[in-house]
Amino acid sequence: MMTRHAIIFCWVLAIGLALFLLLPLVVIAAASFSPTPVFDLPLSGASLRWYGRIGRLDGFWPSLSLSLQIAVLSTALSLVAGTLAAIAIARGRLPGATALGTLLVSPLMMPGLVLGIALLQYFRMIGFTATWSALLVAHLVVTLPYVARTMIAGLSRFDFTLIEAARTLGCTYAGSVIRVMVPALAPSFLISGLFSLLASFDNYPVSIFLTDVRSKTLPIRMLQYIEEAPDPTLAALSTLILAGTLVLLLISDRLVGLHRMAGTAD
């Protein structure tokens, strides 16, 4: 058994690591209130002027709209395709099911730049030049592993005899799935959808190879802006994105509970 000193050391180490990981976010949030046009902590005062400039950034609204469209649609498609694939792997007797599950999550093991270059070359080879559609397909490749991995883990603990029991009570197969399986797997759906949405919205290394001059996602537009005119406006925008992520986590906690989501992700 661990001694008291060892437990205290582990707690101190865990708190120190958490602070180390969160400190850059705190610095960015503090810099967004800088009264001067440089990335500086507002030690002598604070200002909200940079938040007011967010909406006036060149190309901000089209980029935000594009990122939201791609993120929401790719997440929805990933939830459908990833869940069906997970059911086939967990429930069916497919030859090579383990290899198929590994193949579904393989994009997570590849560097984003390599995946982006590979998709660019593939789209060029088949003559696929539609930017919006190319981004959607690429983000589907990025988000599908999150759904597949989480749903396979969730379905491995689901008792499929409950569906058969519901059918004996008069439910159709589709009705039993909706009434029995979907509520039981709500944490899996929520955590996989949340990860997929954030991974798509924040994706840069794959999107950079597939955008053009007129269609740029928000992360690419932000990087372009910081190269042209670095000021705390981007810190303010980053703080708003961070706040939105925290709101999503709070909503998830209220709907399902973070402890159940953490258990689903194991």
Burial 211-222 (b: 16+ CB within 10 A, else e): beeebbbbbbbb
Query: What is the structure's pLDDT at 77?
Result: 95
Spatial contact of 230 and 39, defined as CB atoms under 8 Å apart: yes
Fold of 58-230: MetI-like fold (1.10.3720)
The more confident residue out of 37 and 144 is 144
Query: What is the structure's pLDDT at 70?
Result: 96
The more confident residue out of 86 and 42 is 86
What is the rounded CA–CA span in Å between residue 220 and residue 135?
Answer: 13
What is the chain's mean pLDDT, rounded? Answer: 85
pLDDT at 259 exceeding the cut of 60? no
CA angle 260, 188, 140 (to 5 degrees): 145
Spatial contact of 205 and 115, defined as CB atoms under 8 Å apart: yes
Q: Sketch the domain layout of the chain as residue ranges.
A: 58-230
pLDDT at 236 exceeding the cut of 60? yes
Considering the chain, what percentage of its residues have pLDDT values greater than 90?
Answer: 29
Q: How confident is the model at residue 169 (pLDDT cuts 50, 70, 90)?
A: confident
Query: Crossing angle for the helix pair 131-155 and 186-201, nearest 10 degrees?
Result: 150
Question: How far is CA 198 from each of CA 121, 136, 247, rounded to the nearest angstrom?
Answer: 26, 15, 13
Question: How far is CA 241 from each of CA 21, 42, 138, 234, rounded to the nearest angstrom?
Answer: 17, 20, 22, 10
Query: What is the structure's pLDDT at 257?
Result: 62
Query: For the segment 124-139, what is each residue's pLDDT rounded down to a tens digit?
Result: 999 888 889 999 999 9
Q: How confident is the model at residue 42 (pLDDT cuts 50, 70, 90)?
A: low
* Entry pTM: 0.84
